[in-house]
């Protein structure tokens, strides 16, 4: 039995399916593709697949992955790519298959590109305001949990950032905490910006890569 990591992109209309629906879609594709995937045992066997770090609803993902186990150690990776893509909708495309290097528990950071526009402000003003926000000693925002709502400071979860004026929108490249215990969703940062400057923003968010605590690329 061989563990493999399947890399895919999530875009177009598939950005708006939940992680649960993504899981169902991938399991159906694995079943239809006839790839020799290891199945769970028991009364209702199904293809075993795990996702190291689920992607938030509405986000584009260009380097997403899921882990499966092959019953045939010599099954060609190229066939996995072609067979799965033949069973997936337009917004999901497999582009690589590798053997896992890091465990999912090693993920500590994620990089994002966020395009931001506001009807009431031009892109230059948005850039300057974001720089002001990100230079603050603290960035507090209310965060909902399963039990209650609490105020958190997300400043410590911002590893690095760069803000660029793209004429008709501002572009924020940011690295945020993404571990199991410390996770800053980009939407919290956008909400903090809207609350600070009393604006409403339209955003387009892409998750680019995942990293471990030493900022080594997750592979």
Q: Residue 113: inside a domain, yes or no?
A: yes
Q: What is the pLDDT of residues 63-99, one digit of tens each?
A: 999 999 999 999 999 999 999 999 999 999 999 999 9
Last residue of a domain, which of 51, 84, 100?
A: 100
Q: Residue 131: inside a domain, yes or no?
A: yes
In a shared domain, residues 133 and 191: yes
Q: Residue 77: inside a domain, yes or no?
A: yes
- 8 A C-beta contact, residue 68 and residue 83: no
What pTM did the predictor assign?
A: 0.93
CATH number at residue 171: 3.30.70
Q: What is the average pLDDT score of the chain?
A: 94
Q: Residue 218: inside a domain, yes or no?
A: no
| Dihedral over alpha carbons 184, 193, 10, 179 (to 10 degrees) | -10
Res. 125 pLDDT band, cuts 50 70 90: very high
Q: What is the pLDDT of residues 145-162, one digit of tens each?
A: 777 888 999 999 999 999
The boundaries of the domain holding residue 17 are 2-100
In a shared domain, residues 127 and 203: yes
Q: Residue 217: inside a domain, yes or no?
A: no
- What are all long-range contacts of 134-142, with beta carbons under 8 Å and residues at least 24 apart? 134/158, 134/161, 134/163, 139/189, 139/192, 140/192, 141/188, 141/191, 141/192, 141/195
Q: What is the pLDDT of residues 103-120, one digit of tens each?
A: 999 999 999 999 999 988
Stronger pLDDT, 14 or 40, i.e. the higher one = 14
Last residue of a domain, which of 58, 76, 100?
A: 100
Count structural domains, the chain: 2
In a shared domain, residues 172 and 128: yes
Residue 44 has pLDDT above 90, yes or no: no
> CA-to-CA distance for 126 and 188, rounded, in angstroms?
17
pLDDT computed for residue 47 by the predictor: 83
CATH number at residue 91: 3.30.70.580
In a shared domain, residues 81 and 118: no
Across residues 179-185, what is the average pLDDT?
Answer: 84
pLDDT computed for residue 3 by the predictor: 94
């Amino acid at each position: 039995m061989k563990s493999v990591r399947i890399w895919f992109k999530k875009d177009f209309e598939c950005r708006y399916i939940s992680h649960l629906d993504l899981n169902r879609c991938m399991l159906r594709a694995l079943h239809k593709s006839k790839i020799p995937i290891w199945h769970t045992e028991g009364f209702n066997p199904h293809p075993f697949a795990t996702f190291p770090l689920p992607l938030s609803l509405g986000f584009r993902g260009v380097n997403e992955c899921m882990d499966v186990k092959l019953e045939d150690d010599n099954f060609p990776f190229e066939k996995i790519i072609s067979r799965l893509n033949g069973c997936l909708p337009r917004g999901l495309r497999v582009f690589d298959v590798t053997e896992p290097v890091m465990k999912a528990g090693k993920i500590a950071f994620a990089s994002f590109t966020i395009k931001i526009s506001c009807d009431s402000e031009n892109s230059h003003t948005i850039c300057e305001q974001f720089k002001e926000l990100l230079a603050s000693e603290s960035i507090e925002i209310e965060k909902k949990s399963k039990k209650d709502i609490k105020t958190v400071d997300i400043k410590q979860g911002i590893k690095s950032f760069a803000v660029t004026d793209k004429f008709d929108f501002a572009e924020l490249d940011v690295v945020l905490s993404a571990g199991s215990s410390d996770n800053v969703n980009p939407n919290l940062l956008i909400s903090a910006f809207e609350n600070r400057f009393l604006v409403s923003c339209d955003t387009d968010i892409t998750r680019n890569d995942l990293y471990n605590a030493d900022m080594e690329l997750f592979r």
